[in-house]
């Protein structure tokens, strides 16, 4: 079975207690179980608050040819280094689906711009944890 990297950026390790009105009250362990329940591949779910570590994981996706579901969290809005790492995956034929739990376009103005979307394979936002489930189904239908 394909391994799918499910990469989560800063502050997402606090899901469950972080702004539950925006992000719900389930944590990353619950997200992992939800995705495993889809039985669409092995789920390698990771979270980091560190930009360099997240970039390293995208390099790993290139080297191992692994599809990626990425919630870049706040890096979405300003990290050109992360954008370049996502482009490394997608320009080498790999898949990166950008996901968001909330709909950033319906929130503060600084969240309306994603520097990642232009190099991602696709974007799914606003469906809670189901954004990841929808992305997992999309990965199953994409080339890598
Ligand atoms: C988020 C939206 C971002 O604006 C925010 O910084 C996050 C989470 C989401 O999943 O809705 O940390 O990516």
* 143 CA distance to ligand 1 middle (Å): 27
Which residue has its alpha carbon closest to ligand 1 atom 6?
74
pLDDT at 143 over 60: no
* Strand pairing class (122-125; 96-100): parallel
Atom of ligand 1 nearest to the CA of 103: 11
How many Å lie between the centroid of ligand 1 and the Cα of residue 123?
Answer: 13
Helix (H) or strand (E) run with residue 87 in it: helix 80-90
- pLDDT for 45-74, tens place per residue? 999 999 999 999 999 999 999 999 999 999
The answer to whether residue 26 scores a pLDDT higher than 60 is: yes
Q: Round to whole Å and give the CA distance between 144 and 127.
A: 24
Q: Give me 57's structure tokens.
A: 């994981």
pLDDT one-digit tens code per residue, 77-95:
999 999 999 999 999 999 9
Mean pLDDT score of the chain: 95
pLDDT tier at 1, thresholds 50, 70, 90: low
Number of domains the chain contains = 1
Give the domain range for residue 119. 4-143
Cβ of 13 closer than 6 Å to ligand 1, yes or no, is no
Distance CA 6, CA 98 (A): 10
For residue 100 and ligand 1, the question of a CB distance below 6 A is answered with: yes
Indicate yes or no: pTM above 0.85: yes
β strands within 17-89, DSSP E: 42-47, 68-71
What is the per-residue pLDDT for 98? 98
Residue 105 pLDDT exceeds 70:
yes
* Average pLDDT of the residues in 34-54: 96
Q: How many A from CA of 104 to the centre of ligand 1?
A: 7
Reported as a pLDDT band with limits 50, 70 and 90, residue 24 is confident
Write the CATH number for 29: 3.40.50.9100
pLDDT at 134 > cutoff 70 = yes
């Amino acid at each position: 079975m394909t391994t799918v990297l499910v990469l989560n950026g800063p502050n997402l390790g606090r899901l469950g207690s972080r702004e539950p009105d925006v992000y719900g009250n389930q944590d990353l362990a619950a997200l992992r179980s939800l995705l495993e329940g889809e039985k669409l591949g092995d789920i390698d779910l990771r979270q980091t608050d560190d930009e360099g570590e997240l970039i390293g994981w995208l390099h790993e996706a290139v080297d191992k040819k692994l599809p990626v579901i990425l919630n870049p969290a706040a890096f979405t809005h300003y990290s050109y280094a992360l954008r370049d790492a996502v482009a490394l995956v997608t320009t080498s034929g790999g898949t990166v689906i950008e996901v968001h739990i909330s709909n950033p376009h319906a929130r503060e103005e600084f969240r309306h711009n994603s520097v990642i979307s232009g190099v991602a394979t696709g974007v799914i936002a606003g469906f809670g944890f189901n954004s990841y489930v929808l992305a997992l189904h999309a990965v199953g239908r994409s080339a890598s």
